[in-house]
Amino acid sequence: MIAIVIEFTVRPECRGEFLERLRRDARETLGDPGCLRMEVLLPQSGDGRVLLSELWRDRASIEQHRNKPGHSHAWQDALILGKRVTACDVAPLPA
Q: Is the overall model pTM greater than 0.85, yes or no?
A: yes
DSSP 90: P
Residues 6+ apart with CB under 8 A from 92: none
Neighbours of 23 (CB within 10 A): 13
The backbone torsions φ and ψ at residue 60, rounded to the nearest 5 degrees and listed phi first, read -60, -40
Domains of the chain, start order: 2-89 (3.30.70.100)
Which pLDDT value is given to residue 1? 93
Q: Rounded to a whole number, what is the distance in angstroms from the first to the last CA of the chain?
A: 17
Q: Which amino acid is at 78?
A: A
Distance CA 17, CA 30 (A): 20
pLDDT by residue for the chain (95 residues), tens only, comes to 999 999 999 999 999 999 999 999 999 999 999 999 999 999 998 888 999 999 999 999 999 999 998 888 999 999 999 999 999 999 988 88
Which pLDDT value is given to residue 70? 85
